[in-house]
């Protein structure tokens, strides 16, 4: 009897330990299994109509610490249970110009809690275009996609996908709304710009497929966007209707090739844009999202895509203005056009009820709904979520923010720096520190020495309250402690006009770092400098063009608006790694060998770039760079 009890107890302990190991997700290469396929089909047959409709919706959740009784958390849980939500898109809260990034542990705990409260395993997606650091601190910082075009190495894009996948899966995110397959052929594009890898369809396709390969190795679902191409538009579709006006031959040669490449590479989903494409659908009220000709005919039939088709966010003005009097119909029309998953509806209850009524009335055939739900269930099974839906929070610190990955993100930013113009009079800048910059650290709260004003750095941004320029200034002063650094934004640039020009006239060298990056939904959105700061930059160049180096910390097309620029460098990004790279390049501490992935009208063609070897050894500034990498992330 005792031996039998001991034997049964040992079996129980083994089984329990096995369960403990298997209760957590085990990210790895994504693959379908026969068991997973059977689970998806069996689950589909068990779902009620109401549950099926819920599976095709994805709504927001914002990562932060939330008590279990917090009203915001209760709202998500109640929506999930009442409307049978199948997916969430994770983001963070915002406060005006601030993106209130959260911590990896908080995100992982919150997603685990939602998984535990859901009847079926949830899919979690996020917009990690620049890696997880876009939303969470302590993670690997990457520059914008266009920096990878400037870098030009497909293997770097592959590593970008793999590292982002590993960090994403560690916190519970399965699906990234990236890579961007848009070919940015319009310099005035206000919403794509540096989010694109470049203007050459082949290079964009190469980098897109490399990213997909790396992401799949890390166990993450991928999305190419914004079908059928958002690169040749001049309107932000968050604010209005953007139009792609090329004919079919132009679409086949420019916009569509990267999407074809992505489909061939096994991309998991395609995101459809809220753009009109007259060459594909002549109805002016048919943005691509609700166009059967673009979704069902072109994407599914002509291009042969069999994966998940997801709308761009349904709350964007490019779509909502068409359904102002009946907002729920936007979801119905998008689904009827061929989309499988409905992302971020403007009014979720109204959209859910409209979809439910459309299926009940027969407007949407039940077999059509089943087809999309089965796709979603199968993709969940390919991740193994039917067996283990939680992540091991205790393992986050072993995967996220690895020093080697942080260094890789910095290396990409370094390699992307592109020198477009050099009059031979300014670069490289000279550090004022002796012994390669090794200087004794100042005590806290001591006053700074009076500036000598030999070098002035003017930092132009949309809002000085954001982080733009902070890492740049810190790095700059690590090399020239008495440099004068002036922060400007459109609200007060005109009032500082005289002060800035006086400092510029007295200085021996001037650096103008201009932060212009695509920003979704910004009223009056443009990638040109605002009038106030643009006018001041022009006056600065009128006074001191020959002794001024202009750094485009984002939009590379900037130089087209300022023909007097004599020294011009591009980083294609405002991420902290790009700020650090810019300063290192200015001081000749890194080799400069990036090449433009886009053409700048009347300035330079794609592929241009002046190569420069390392001209001075970096020294004490390494400590500042290390500090910025760890504490000043994007």
Q: Give first-to-last CA distance, the chain, whole Å.
A: 65
- The DSSP call for residue 464 is T
Per the listing, tokens 């930059």 go with: 537
Degrees, nearest 5: CA angle 98-101-104: 180
Specify which residues 343 forms β-bridges with: 58
Cβ within 8 Å of residue 508, ≥6 positions away: 454, 455, 547
What is the Cα–Cα distance from 156 to 214, expressed in whole angstroms?
Answer: 10
Helices marked H in 47-153 — which ranges? 49-55, 71-83, 104-117, 145-151
160 token code pair: 């970008």
Q: What gap in Å lies between CA 222 and CA 90, rounded to an integer?
A: 15
Q: Which residues pair with 529 in a beta bridge?
A: none
**Closest to 167 in 3D by CA, of 222, 220, 238:** 220
- 59 φ, ψ (degrees, to nearest 5): -120, 170
Separation of alpha carbons 377 and 122, rounded Å: 10
Phi, psi of 207 (to 5 degrees): -75, -35
Q: 487 near 525, Cβ under 8 Å?
A: no
CB atoms within 10 A of CB 396: 21
Nearest to residue 108, comparing CAs of 61, 54, 59? 61
Helices 576-586, 470-479: axis angle to 10 degrees equals 30
Q: Is there a contact between 288 and 311 (Cβ–Cβ < 8 Å)?
A: no
DSSP states along 583-623? HHHHTT-S-B----SS-BTTTB-TT----B---S---THHH
Peptide bond between residue 180 and the one before it cis (omega within 30 degrees of 0): no
DSSP helix/strand/coil, 118: coil
For 450, phi then psi, to 5°, come to -60, 135
Map residue 527 onto helix, strand or coil. Answer: coil
3-state secondary structure of 204: helix
628 is written with which tokens? Answer: 């910025």
**Residues in contact with 71: Cβ distance below 8 Å, sequence separation at least 6, in sequence order:** none
Are the C-beta atoms of residues 129 and 99 closer than 8 Å to each other?
Answer: no
In this structure, how many other beta carbons lie within 10 angstroms of the beta carbon of residue 118? Answer: 17
481, 432 contact by CB (below 8 A): yes
Active site residues: 312
CA 483 – CA 573 distance, rounded (Å): 24
């Amino acid at each position: 009897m005792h031996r039998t009890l001991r034997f049964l107890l040992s079996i129980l302990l083994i089984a329990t330990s096995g369960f403990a190991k298997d209760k957590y997700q085990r990210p790895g290469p994504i693959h379908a299994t026969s068991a997973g396929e059977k689970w998806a089909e069996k689950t589909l047959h068990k779902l009620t109509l109401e549950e099926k409709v819920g599976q095709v919706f994805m709504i927001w959740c914002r990562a932060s610490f939330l008590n279990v009784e917090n009203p915001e958390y209760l709202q998500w849980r109640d929506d999930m249970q009442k409307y049978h939500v199948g997916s969430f898109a994770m983001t963070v809260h915002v406060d005006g110009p601030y993106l209130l990034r959260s911590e990896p542990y908080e995100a992982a705990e919150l997603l685990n809690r939602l998984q535990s409260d859901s009847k079926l395993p949830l899919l979690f997606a996020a917009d990690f275009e620049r890696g997880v650091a876009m939303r969470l601190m302590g993670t690997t910082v990457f520059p914008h996609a266009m920096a990878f075009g400037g870098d030009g190495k497909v293997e770097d894009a592959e590593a970008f996908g793999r590292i982002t996948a590993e960090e994403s899966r560690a916190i519970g995110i399965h699906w990234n709304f990236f890579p961007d397959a848009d070919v940015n052929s319009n310099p005035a594009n206000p919403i794509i710009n540096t989010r694109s890898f470049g203007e050459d369809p082949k290079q964009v396709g190469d980098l897109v497929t490399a990213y997909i390969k790396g992401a799949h190795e890390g166990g993450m679902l991928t999305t190419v966007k914004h079908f059928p191409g958002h690169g040749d538009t001049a309107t932000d579709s968050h604010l209005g209707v953007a139009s792609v006006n090329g004919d079919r031959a132009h679409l086949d040669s420019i916009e569509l090739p990267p999407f074809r490449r992505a489909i061939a590479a096994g991309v998991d989903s395609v995101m459809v844009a809220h753009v009109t494409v007259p060459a594909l659908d002549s109805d002016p009220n048919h943005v691509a999202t609700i166009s059967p000709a673009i979704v069902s005919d072109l994407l599914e039939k002509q291009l042969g895509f069999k994966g998940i088709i997801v709308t761009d966010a349904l709350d964007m003005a490019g779509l909502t203005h068409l359904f102002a009097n009946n907002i729920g119909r936007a979801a119905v029309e998008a689904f009827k056009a061929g989309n499988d998953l409905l992302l971020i509806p403007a009014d979720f209850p109204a959209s859910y009820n409209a979809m439910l009524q459309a299926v009940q009335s027969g407007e949407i055939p039940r077999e059509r709904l089943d087809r999309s739900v089965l796709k979603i269930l199968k993709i969940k099974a390919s991740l193994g979520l039917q067996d283990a839906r939680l992540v091991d929070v205790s393992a986050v610190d072993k995967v996220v923010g690895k020093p080697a990955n942080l260094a890789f993100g910095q290396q990409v930013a370094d390699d992307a720096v592109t020198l477009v113009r050099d009059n031979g009079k300014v670069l490289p800048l000279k550090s004022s520190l002796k012994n390669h910059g090794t200087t004794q650290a100042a005590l806290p709260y001591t006053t700074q020495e009076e500036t000598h004003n030999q070098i002035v750095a003017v930092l132009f941004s949309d809002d000085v309250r954001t982080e733009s320029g902070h890492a740049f200034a810190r790095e700059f002063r690590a090399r020239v402690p008495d440099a004068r650094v002036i922060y400007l934004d459109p609200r007060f640039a005109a009032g500082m006009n005289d002060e800035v020009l006086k400092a510029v006239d007295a200085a021996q060298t001037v650096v103008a770092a201009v932060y212009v990056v695509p920003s979704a939904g910004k009223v009056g959105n443009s990638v040109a400098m605002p009038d106030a700061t643009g006018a001041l930059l022009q006056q600065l160049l009128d006074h001191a063009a020959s002794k001024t180096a202009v750094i485009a910390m984002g939009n590379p097309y900037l130089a087209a608006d300022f023909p007097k620029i004599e020294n011009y460098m591009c980083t294609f990004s405002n991420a902290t790694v790009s700020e650090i790279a810019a300063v290192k390049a200015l001081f000749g501490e890194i080799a400069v060998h990036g090449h433009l992935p886009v053409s700048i009208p009347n300035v330079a063609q794609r592929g241009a770039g002046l190569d420069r070897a390392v001209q001075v050894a970096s020294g004490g500034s390494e400590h500042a760079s290390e500090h910025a990498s760890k504490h000043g992330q994007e």
